[in-house]
Chain A
């Protein structure tokens, strides 16, 4: 009897030791998180690992994003984009390797989407002024006038000197649909270089889930519920080392005459895209692809959008329509779990 009790006691002590061990084990993995306001949005980088190493990696990441913002912002005087726009109709502007690469990727996506994605959308963005104090519904003639200035195929590229020119005064380049994606890819490279195995990059809702969770399992990324407050999600995608990017009509908009005007434009009309889609999420290896494709699919609509993404290797799409239906590429079904019962899968 006495011996039995001792065994029991030792067993209990062991359990207690395990519980305490578990607590300290979790505390050791406290990640380093830093925030900033760059690329015209709220950004957050979280890195797991040894403290000083993670701290350095996150600082490097924020410096990298700041640098990209300085080069590609539509407003900052240091930006190559601002210089290109100021020189429109006049001169070539020499740009650095990164900006040159992003501009060429933007042109590539113009080709891939038949011009639905266009890095020369600037005049239309400025005309509507969504998010500014002069947001308004422009007159049809005004829209037609600026649409004539929008055509990515007219961007002059001098490959050998890395020079870029817009051929007509009034044309405006806007890398807003692609710069955040590029930045996420660049930050991921930096975190890898700093030997970080586990990290989360959040650039205004564009997520890059770097590596796996510290315990080796998949990251769980929620997809925002388009009809509910920030943080409520319709479902969860489980991923390792993937970019998860969403474009939604709930993110930036204004209302006039009881109608909502959001910031994703259909370049065939010059108005905000109206095809029943309220959000599109792209899961991919490169975030620049996710950024450009989420906007493109949003404008193309369910059928054309899925047709565009389905053949792309390692790229999946999740589309939500205003009637709370969820359309996906075939590969997305195995990683997406819909958790909000109001939303249902729909096949096309």
Chain B
């Protein structure tokens, strides 16, 4: 086997493995944006890897505080009647969401979940 053959074979193997790894890892990288929606409409889209806190204002004096920190996101405070959105805590994976029904606020990380297509709740 000539040196050229070896280089060529090595190159082919590296490209194959790299391509394969990319195809596997890609879905995990889709979960890198946080979408904040109010009443079904996009309010703000934010990168999940940059720490930031925004206050979402709804219907006059209603608010939900969305906190992004260390690659996770939560609703840290809200003046909705039940505050179930605050209780839901942190999410960090594609396909997860936090919903504030009284304020019609949804915080979602789009993308596909790992082992299931949807979760019924």
Residues of A near any B CB (own CB < 8 A): 1, 5, 8-9, 12-13, 15-16, 19-20, 22-23, 26, 33, 35-38, 40-43, 130-135, 200, 202, 205-207, 209, 213, 219-224, 229-231, 233, 236, 244-246, 248, 250-254, 281, 339
Contacts and interface: CB of A to CB of B under 8 A. Distances in A.
Interface string B1-25: 1000100110011011001101100
B29 interface: no
Interface residues of B, number: 42
B82 A213 contact: no
Contacts, number: 132
A223 B19 contact: no
Interface stretch (B46-54, B63-71, B101-109): B101-109
B82 A135 contact: yes
B24 to A, nearest CB: 10
A221 B8 contact: no
B121 A244 contact: no
B74 to A, nearest CB: 10
Contacts of A13: 12
A334 B69 CA distance: 42
Interface string B64-101: 00000000000000000110100011110101111101
B60 interface: no
A253 B117 contact: no
A124 to B, nearest CB: 18
Contacts of A41: 101
A244 B120 CA distance: 7
Nearest to A15: B16
